[in-house]
A and B are shown apart, each in its own frame.
Chain A
Amino acid sequence: MTMVSNHPDATMAPTRFPLVDDDAAHHRFRVHRDTMTSPEIFREEAERIFSHSWLYVGHASEVAAPGDYVRRPVGGRPVFMVRGAKSGNVHVFHNTCTHRGAVVCRHKSGNAKVFQCFYHAWTFDSDGRLTGVPDRDAYGAKLDFSQLGLRPVARMENYRGFVFASFDENVTDLVTYLAGAREYLDLVIDSGDGEMEIVKGTNEYCIGANWKLLAENSIDGYHAISTHDTYFKYLVALGTNLKGGVQGTARDLGNGHAVLEYAAPWGRPIAKWEPLFGKYGPERASRMADVNRNLLIYPNLVVNDIMAITVRTFMPSAPDRMDVTAWEMAPRDELPALRQRRLDSFLTFLGPAGFATPDDLEALESCQQGFSSGGVEWNDISRGMDRVPQANDEAQMRTFWRQWQRQMGDAAYKEVR
């Protein structure tokens, strides 16, 4: 068998090997490129990862008033988030009529007293109760209509405005799941004195690349200088002093979450005076004001608090394609001059028409094309394995991949045939 004799461990002849090769003894961490290209892996991820994790739905500020709603694809499924007019609570419902299936929330966003299915006109209130059925007399007296309200997702939790859903009713509670990432969400939220909002206007773009490439890219300090030369030139043209560069560290936050914390030459639109310093003390306040954070909440939420704050989620539609949705987060009631600065910072770096993000798309699609060339089986993610992780190392990506491997279980292996 030539396959066996080609293998370096021919005498051992393993029949399967892990797709994530974590070899600390040799300072080597490798990820097999099948993870990025295999249709089978893509199908397994839908079940093992996206059906059993906490997934970001939206921010409570997007449904501030009773009856406000937004429609969202979450984990590839159409759901909608709505603030109940009677209860005042935020709900996340499967967007399907309990009668025969049509979607009941047909606008992208808005405000509604009721959601009426246009097909047979069953009507639900904003808390999900079935309140109207035409020709109710045609149904038998014993049919329990109270069981036919809109179906909420299996689990929904709201962490200080960040609304998450899970399709697994047995998933651990959100705060436990967030682990060390909670501290970083708090830093972002507290920097706006607890009152953050999503700015109007959504970036909905797509990338012809595997979704995990964007998880890596969103927390990749190593590529900044080489890929984003034109952005740094733009900063220089604005009068920015690039001296000092990008300096910082990476942290494993548990459960696959990771963060980069670093100083960078760009400005941050945060007022460095009261009330931040008075309320949180100089140490925590300067951490909020001066330090950049690239936070990955496993599997597919990125909160980058850099020259502006982006909340970004992404979902694969094929092994080599993902849909990206990104919002800008800002303190509510921000001073107009600061808001303008923040908007400028966002669209020039983070936006899909800016001076940087299009080049990230090019890099990710270029990787995906490179994979199809074959010949090279593994990606190398070993940078910084033998030192305290720096912001431009790859420890944070290893954190992601180790969790991916755990969650994928026996699907994270390649058979040797």
Chain B
Amino acid sequence: MISAAHTAAAAETMPAGEPDGGSCATSLHLGSVTRAQIEDFLYREARLLDDWDLDTWLTLWAEEGTRYVVPCNDDPDGDPARDLVLIDDDQLRMRLRVERLNSRKAHREYPHSRTNHQVSNVVVGTAEGSGADTELPVTAAFTVWRFRNGKASYYVGRYHYRFIAVGGELRIRSKRSVLDMTELRPAGDLAIIL
């Protein structure tokens, strides 16, 4: 019944009177998803991250085969199976990352930073695969501002998403956040979620 609860939660936050938002709650074909639908999804994800509502953020993800990856700045094409990356989270590690950030023991993020996840330049690709395995690739530019303890830092780069449809809703199968900064130094570390 978890997926039904997700559906209800997602429907509640759909903008009122948005025709695409209304229709996708019952039937969603990845081949005909509009950029507006994807943008609504990405804006909602950004807001959940900025609100530190990470438990809800986790519900945006598919339940199997998920991957959240951030490559090293000097190796944007890095393969987590072979190269060192900054983040390579499967479901378990993503959940543990959220538990850590929700606790008072993630000292770098206690108290939490104020963040602003800005998403733009959204490009919806062509759906690949068939049936339940259909995946929709999407890229977008991001700028994430992080403010804490009098210090401002930023992360700039590009998202590479792959979406799937689960019960008539979009879910993230994988997300790869590739940083454009040549080094992580302007930001110090990466304790937040991009």
Contact = CB atoms under 8 A, between A and B. Distances in A.
A237 interface: yes
Contact of B84 (A108, A205, A346): A346
B191 interface: yes
A361 B185 contact: no
B83 interface: yes
Which bucket holds chain B's interface residue count? 35 or more
Interface stretch (A1-9, A35-43, A350-358): A350-358
A340 B83 CA distance: 9
Nearest to B194: A353
B5 to A, nearest CB: 24
B189 A357 contact: yes
B103 interface: yes
Contacts of B109: 358
Interface residues of A, number: 38
Interface string A213-239: 000000000000001011001100100
B94 to A, nearest CB: 12
Contacts of B93: 348
A205 B72 contact: no
8 contacts: A229-B105, A233-B105, A328-B84, A336-B81, A343-B88, A347-B84, A353-B87, A359-B106
Contacts of B80: 343
A201 B71 contact: yes
A352 B86 contact: yes
A202 B184 CA distance: 10
A405 interface: no
A343 B93 CA distance: 14
B127 interface: no
B29 interface: no
B88 A201 contact: no
A343 B72 CA distance: 13
Given A230-B105, A355-B100, 17 more contacts: A200-B82, A203-B84, A205-B189, A207-B188, A233-B96, A233-B105, A234-B96, A237-B92, A339-B81, A347-B88, A352-B190, A355-B96, A355-B97, A358-B109, A358-B190, A359-B108, A362-B108
Interface of A: 108, 199-208, 227, 229-230, 233-234, 237, 323, 327-328, 336, 339-340, 343-344, 346-348, 351-353, 355, 357-359, 361-363
B172 to A, nearest CB: 18
A343 B74 CA distance: 16
B86 A351 contact: yes
A43 B67 CA distance: 46
B108 A344 contact: no
Contacts of B106: 230, 358-359
Q: Which of B70, B74, B109, B189 has the most CB of A within 10 A?
A: B189
Contact of B73 (A204, A233, A355): A204
B84 A343 contact: yes
Q: Which of B84, B86, B103 has the most CB of A within 10 A?
A: B84
Nearest to B110: A362
A234 B100 contact: yes
B183 A347 contact: no
A162 B11 CA distance: 58
A361 B188 contact: yes
Contacts of A207: 188
Contacts of A352: 86, 184, 188-190
B92 A201 contact: no
A227 B110 CA distance: 12
Nearest to A231: B100
Contacts of A208: 151, 188
B191 to A, nearest CB: 4
